[in-house]
Structure 1
Amino acid sequence: MSSAQSEKRSQSQRREATRTAILQACKEIMAEEDFVNSKTGTIAKRAGVAEGTVFLHFENKQGLLRALVDDFFVTMHGNIAEIHQAHSCPKQRLKAMAQDYIEQLEAQWPLARLVVSTHARYGDELTQQSLRRHNRRYTQFFIDALDEIKQQEVDCDIPSQVFRDALFGGIEHFAIANFNTGKNHDSQQFLDQLWQLLFRGILSRESKAAEQNNIEQKLDQIIKKLDA
């Protein structure tokens, strides 16, 4: 490698390190105060750079918000890929994705709340476009799993998008009501209850099968009595 190439690579690494430091500083400050009220000067000071450096890397505060949203979804998409490899059964895959989603919301709530709040949803047009693009890609995995389940549950004519919206709406409402509020909460219990609410008797035919078996058993008993 020539000295020029080495210098170029070194500059690129320093630039990436600075960008990472700014994002990390922003995440730390977001845990202390609302993103809307945070100041770029405070973010720059926490990152150990000049305020102008923030604008050099992210153009403006909305650009910083888009980078944070991108950072959040990089983790989410990576987890989805691992879940797909681990679960061939669509029901198990859907459960695992829902579990990961609520865990990531709680683990990264200062950042995640931007994704589920009006700050990101009603940012500038570029921010909205970025969020819609990420959401479409991410939620498509859930719709695909739901479509696979519906193929096995031929009596279900409810659109997969309805289940998707109910699932995400329930999880996000739970997150907003509980995370970082000091309230005692049980995420696993909530997910189990949400799963039962959405899928028992709708996308699961286990209850129907049990009821059918019970009827058949009673009929067998009647036939035996008649034969006797």
Structure 2
Amino acid sequence: MQSSLPIRRRTRRPRAEREAEILEAARAVFAEKGYGATAVAEIAARAGVVEGTVYSYFESKRSLLIAVMKNFFEALIAETASGLSAIRGTENQLRFVIRRQLETFTSDLGLCRVIISEARPDIALYDEAILDLNRRYTGLALAVLEEGVENGTLRSDIVPSVIRDLIYGGIEHAVWRSIFTHREIDVEALTNQLSDALLGGIVRESSSRMVDSDPGGEARARDTITRLERAVERLEARLESPSVRTAGDTP
């Protein structure tokens, strides 16, 4: 006699969803243990799948790392570009770039350590996975610097690409020092210290600096000039009036 109970069919997870879960697991394990010390079996266990399932999505641990880094940089580029588009003024934008990089390091220190100490020294891996993305990311700061030179906010004799390298190199040095000394980074304080040191050497001394640091400064300056011009006009009109005498005109 045949059973009348309905047959239950196993439903497969959407491929994109499963892939995202594996990548999330890989990112977490890489950040905790480092790339070299991580086994694919550990990533599979974290994702809740068997090891063979991981290989059905990614051909190797290396390809997993490449995918993780690409996701990391793509998100960072999008977030930084969006943030810069909402900020006015070269100095304010550079402060944002510095703060954003520090926040990235401190919020995902483990993965950043993998990228810097394990992925970057591997020239082939760096060229394949990081070079273009890193150029796009740091290119955002480079564009701010080049625009600052063009609009007169920054000194015309600086080399924007060198200043860009100083920004990211200085941040990386500060972060590694924090790692080795096991001291937590004060993002706000370090942002101000790095920004002040950098801007003190590259900002062109002019009224544009005051305008950049105060988003409403330009409008207030125009209003002040207009009011002064009107006051001068009224004074000139009074002086031209026959009823107005100066001290030297008194009989």
Given residue 80 of structure 2, which amino acid in structure 1 is its aligned partner? I
Q: How does 1:63-102 map to 2 (within 5 A)?
A: 63-102=63-102
CA RMSD of aligned residues (A): 2.6
- Counterpart of 1:37? 37
The offset of 1:194, in angstroms, is: 1.2
- Counterpart of 2:117? 118
Identity %: 29
Q: How does 1:77-226 map to 2 (within 5 A)?
A: 77-115=77-115, 117-123=116-122, 125-151=124-150, 152-153=152-153, 155-179=155-179, 182-205=182-205
The offset of 1:203, in angstroms, is: 2.1
**How has the CA–CA distance of structure 1 residues 90 and 153 changed in structure 2, closer, same or farther, with 3 Å as cutoff?**
closer
The offset of 1:204, in angstroms, is: 4.2
The structure where helix makes up a greater share of residues is 1
Query: Of the two, which has the highest radius of gyration?
Result: 2
Equivalents in 2 of 1:180, 1:28: separation in Å? 21
Calculate the TM-score normalised by the size of structure 2. Answer: 0.70
Q: Secondary structure at the match of 1:17?
A: helix
- Which runs of 5 or more residues in structure 2 are unaligned? 1-10, 211-251
**How has the CA–CA distance of structure 1 residues 186 and 154 changed in structure 2, closer, same or farther, with 3 Å as cutoff?**
closer
Given residue 23 of structure 2, which amino acid in structure 1 is its aligned partner? L
Given residue 23 of structure 1, which amino acid in structure 2 is its aligned partner? L
Alignment coverage as a number of residue pairs = 198
The offset of 1:183, in angstroms, is: 1.2
The offset of 1:191, in angstroms, is: 1.7
- Counterpart of 2:55? 55
Given residue 35 of structure 1, which amino acid in structure 2 is its aligned partner? Y
Q: Cα deviation per residue 1:138-166 (whole Å; 9 max; x = unaligned)?
A: 11110110011112147431210111011
Equivalents in 1 of 2:138, 2:37: separation in Å? 30
Equivalents in 2 of 1:96, 1:149: separation in Å? 14
The offset of 1:127, in angstroms, is: 4.5
Equivalents in 2 of 1:136, 1:38: separation in Å? 28
Equivalents in 1 of 2:154, 2:81: separation in Å? 28
Whether the 8 Å CA contact 1:77–1:138 is kept in 2: the answer is yes
The offset of 1:85, in angstroms, is: 2.5
Q: Secondary structure at the match of 1:93?
A: helix
**How has the CA–CA distance of structure 1 residues 73 and 154 changed in structure 2, closer, same or farther, with 3 Å as cutoff?**
closer
Whether the 8 Å CA contact 2:84–2:96 is kept in 1: the answer is no
- Which runs of 5 or more residues in structure 1 are unaligned? 1-9, 211-228
Given residue 17 of structure 1, which amino acid in structure 2 is its aligned partner? E
- Counterpart of 2:246? none
Equivalents in 2 of 1:113, 1:170: separation in Å? 16
Whether the 8 Å CA contact 2:29–2:43 is kept in 1: the answer is yes
Whether the 8 Å CA contact 1:68–1:111 is kept in 2: the answer is no
Given residue 139 of structure 1, which amino acid in structure 2 is its aligned partner? T
Whether the 8 Å CA contact 1:156–1:203 is kept in 2: the answer is no
**How has the CA–CA distance of structure 1 residues 155 and 27 changed in structure 2, closer, same or farther, with 3 Å as cutoff?**
closer
Equivalents in 2 of 1:142, 1:59: separation in Å? 35
The offset of 1:124, in angstroms, is: 6.2
Greater mean deviation of Cα atoms: 124-133 or 36-45: 124-133
Whether the 8 Å CA contact 2:44–2:54 is kept in 1: the answer is yes
Q: Cα deviation per residue 1:40-80 (whole Å; 9 max; x = unaligned)?
A: 11111111112122222121111111111111112211212
Equivalents in 2 of 1:164, 1:124: separation in Å? 22
The offset of 1:179, in angstroms, is: 4.8
- Counterpart of 1:7? none
